[in-house]
A and B are shown apart, each in its own frame.
Chain A
């Protein structure tokens, strides 16, 4: 098979990233510059500051991706970029850089949905086998996506309020952890016990939707009530109890949906896919309940935002010659 290389760019939130991907499944380079240290100062991502950092980084990161991959523009088949969803000012940097590159080198331009990117990160690990189901969990999304075939997305379940990652951030703040608190909560959860019995939302309902705002409120109330009474709560037990609720709901609903769809693969995707508790519980439950369905979990390096996944997702568009024009714009609310 002829090698087809895609230069991919991602700038939807607080990471500037560029990657060169071969045939949608092999990483030749994947450079990620994280702004997290900057946004930690504010307890969350500040859109204007994210946009400013992207302009500072964008050409250096693309240069490093090209140099690391040891390729030249003549070797490329296309330039791909995240069009949305994300922060509009941040997306615009990637979109305009990608358009300039495509124009300057007469290359086709491919617009990629960021959420599709997270799902296709798995293609860098294992070939995707359709039909499949993907659980996409991040700071902005919690979705169960059914893919009948390459390029087709059906959202069969989603959060009705907060995304799972958002709940982690808020709970992290209540626990006094530095932003973003997700990783630390995961670590603490492994040392504590689920003793506080937080609610498992929507578990009994006959759908695949999620809700995390009730859990968040229950958590905050627990902590505030204890403070008022002068009681000491164990932070590790709190983390463990919170995480147990999130993981149980995610895993139960996902496995339920997996049983009710004719799937060959179950994929985990998105920033929260880095959560050890979630990875372990999903592995264990799937092995027990659906041993014939292949479970694919991306390595930690491909869970957070990165351009490699955008290059992976762009490959099917290249195959189908679905190209964007030079008037491509960022779409902050882009749907799958």
Chain B
């Protein structure tokens, strides 16, 4: 299976080409620059570099969130349009799972996280099992770092935090988990599309048309409206005219 994988869910932009379990090429940057301008040229350049063309791919894998709303939409729109128009399979992988998978070799609980501002984080809980398979222990969520740390403190065991924003929240977790929590080594903090591509081969193919990012959070206006109108949600808000 030939796979093109892409992750634009946060500041890092990573794309990779894989053939089954073998990584053929990968391009990762971690700079504050626009994903919309850079994603398509990067895909073009990487595929050319590894002598592949989009027609030869079997599957497109995309990091489906959580993360920056705009970043997610750039990746998901590009991935779903490519998959649909080329008639390829599309698979989505949690952006947090992709990050957690970096922590290979540890049996500790893995806590991937992205800053979601105002003390909140996007996070989840993962663990490699005895067979070396990454297992999801808790659903990905949007929560205050403090609440998450407090919740995790009720579990027994060691925790490793992973992600570019770990530094910012390590203290908060320390307050609840003390020496039971550590930060992952620096080389594991960046999401890698090669890892994403490996995970994405194990996922079921998605329905391309209806595939959308996992924002894990409603738009603020939507959230307020639903609170004020608890029983009025309709099925179809978009209509052909």
Binding site for B on A (CB under 8 A): 15-16, 31-38, 41-42, 46, 48-49, 51-53, 55-60, 62-63, 73, 88-89, 92-93, 95-97, 99-101, 103-105, 304, 325-330
- Tally chain B residues at the interface, Cβ within 8 Å: 42
Q: Mark B78-91, 1 if CB is under 8 A from A, else 0.
A: 10111011100000
Query: What are 26 of the A-B contact pairs (CB < 8 Å)?
Result: A33-B239, A33-B241, A37-B236, A41-B225, A53-B237, A55-B73, A55-B76, A55-B212, A59-B84, A59-B85, A59-B208, A89-B69, A96-B36, A96-B74, A97-B77, A97-B78, A100-B40, A103-B40, A103-B54, A104-B81, A104-B86, A304-B241, A326-B40, A327-B37, A327-B40, A329-B37
User: Could you say which residues of chain A place their CB within 8 Å of the CB of B209?
Assistant: 59-60, 63
Q: How far is the CB of A49 from chain B (nearest CB, A)?
A: 5
Please report the C-alpha to C-alpha distance between residue A227 and residue B36 in the assembled complex, in whole angstroms: 51
Q: Which 3 A-B pairs have the closest CB atoms?
A: A38-B237, A100-B81, A48-B219
Q: Mark B32-53, 1 if CB is under 8 A from A, else 0.
A: 0010111111011000000000
Known: A56-B212, A63-B84. A96 touches B239 (CB 8 A): no
Q: How far is the CB of B223 from chain A (nearest CB, A)?
A: 11
Q: How far is the CB of B82 from chain A (nearest CB, A)?
A: 5
**Which of B39, B209, B229 has the most A CB atoms < 10 Å from its CB?**
B209
Please report the C-alpha to C-alpha distance between residue A197 and residue B36 in the assembled complex, in whole angstroms: 50
Chain B: which residue is nearest A44 at the CB level?
B221
Binding site for A on B (CB under 8 A): 34, 36-41, 43-44, 54, 69-70, 73-74, 76-78, 80-82, 84-86, 208-210, 212-213, 215, 219-222, 225, 229, 234, 236-241
Please report the C-alpha to C-alpha distance between residue A48 and residue B220 in the assembled complex, in whole angstroms: 9
Interface contact A105-B37, CB-CB below 8 Å = no
Please report the C-alpha to C-alpha distance between residue A325 and residue B82 in the assembled complex, in whole angstroms: 17
Interface contact A42-B81, CB-CB below 8 Å = no
Interface contact B40-A99, CB-CB below 8 Å = yes
Please report the C-alpha to C-alpha distance between residue A15 and residue B239 in the assembled complex, in whole angstroms: 9
Interface contact B237-A35, CB-CB below 8 Å = yes
Interface contact B240-A104, CB-CB below 8 Å = no
